[in-house]
Amino acid sequence: MMILMSMGFDSRTLQDAGSFISKMCMLLLSVIISHCIKDNHYSEIPLLYFLSILLIPVSSIYMMHHIFLIAAVHNEYMIFSVTASFLLLIVNYVIFEVYDWISRNAELRGQNRLYAQQLELCSQQAEERESLYLEIRRLRHDLKNHLSSLLGMVQTGQTSEAEKYIMQMLDVGAGDRPEEISHSGNIVIDSLINHAYAAAQKDNIQFNVNVLVPASLPFESGHLAIVLGNLLENALEACRNIPDEKGFISLDISYAKDIFQLCIKNNYQAKRKKDIIGHYITTKGDNIYHGLGLSSINHAIENYHGQMDITDNDNIFQVIIVMYGSYSENAK
């Protein structure tokens, strides 16, 4: 108001401006209060959508202000101003109900993504266990025949043949067994890392791992699978796009004094892009179902007051995860 007075506006203009500014201040105050007391159960929609929705009450206030100014001068428009006010009130109510529905829908979609990823990772572990079980059954079935052959060789004094036969069995067994680099004893971590290592070997990606965790951790297996599974999947996908087999992945995991620390680093070729609110955009063709990994990780680590730090320098992408076992329900 001081600025308008200094510019030489008359009292009527100052009164109109003051009325409009007061309404805008009340709108801003109501938005701030609603955000302060709002239940955080629902996910926030993107900032651009929120600002677009906020334009509707701002425009309504502007229109109502001028409608009442016209009605104050021309009495024949009084009924119209009251009707217009009622209709604009209904429109704003419907718009904010839609906003609330969008927030609920975003929360449900986020939960569905987490459940889908957890089911996918659990299915992957189940397939690996089934494969191992079938391999054990096959070995048990063949073991009787192998022992019978060895017994016949020993009884007839063919010790050299028996020795060659045993060496052949050992070579075949070693060749059929997939190489494992994680032996922490934690089923979730070992299965995910060993599965990713096998995929990296197939694509000639250098894979370095250092795992120092106990067999039992105070975190939900599903949350661990979401965090580690998404990070490994993203790293493998980025390295597959690097020509001349120059991709590398470095993974360090440790757990000490109720603090879980994970650091994964990989190189990439394509430039990573961000949206207007700073989230990384997927480079995969199906951007509807992909590009949600980091968001899912955030939801998972929030259960343990965790933090995620991302650095992206010189085509090296690094993610550091910290979770606190003292906040886990399993630790209580």
Span 206-235, average pLDDT = 91
Give the confidence band of 3 by pLDDT, cuts at 50, 70, 90. Answer: very low
Span 67-82, average pLDDT = 74
Cα–Cα distance, 212 to 233 (Å, whole number)? 21
This prediction's pTM: 0.56
* Residue 14 in this model has a pLDDT that exceeds 50: no
Give the confidence band of 30 by pLDDT, cuts at 50, 70, 90. Answer: low
**Distance of alpha carbon 272 from its chain centroid, rounded?**
16
DSSP string, 64-126: HHHHHHHHHH-GGGHHHHHHHHHHHHHHHHHHHHHHHHHHHHHHHHHHHHHHHHHHHHHHHHH
CB 325 within 8 A of CB 217: yes
| Residue 167, Cβ density class (10 Å: 0-12 exposed, 13-18 middle, ≥19 buried) | exposed
Candidate from 24-28, 124-128, 165-169 with smallest mean pLDDT: 24-28
What residues form DSSP beta bridges with 206? 248
3-state secondary structure 141-199: HHHHHHHHHHHHHHHCCCHHHHHHHHHHHHHHHHHHCCCCCCCCCCHHHHHHHHHHHHH
Task: Give residue-wise pLDDT tens across range 192-209.
Answer: 898 899 899 999 999 999
Span 156-171, average pLDDT = 81
Cα–Cα distance, 237 to 231 (Å, whole number)? 10
Span 246-257, average pLDDT = 94
Tokens of 209: 């791992």
User: What pLDDT, on a 0 to 100 scale, did the predictor assign at position 314?
Assistant: 85
Give the confidence band of 219 by pLDDT, cuts at 50, 70, 90. Answer: very high
CB 308 within 8 A of CB 319: yes
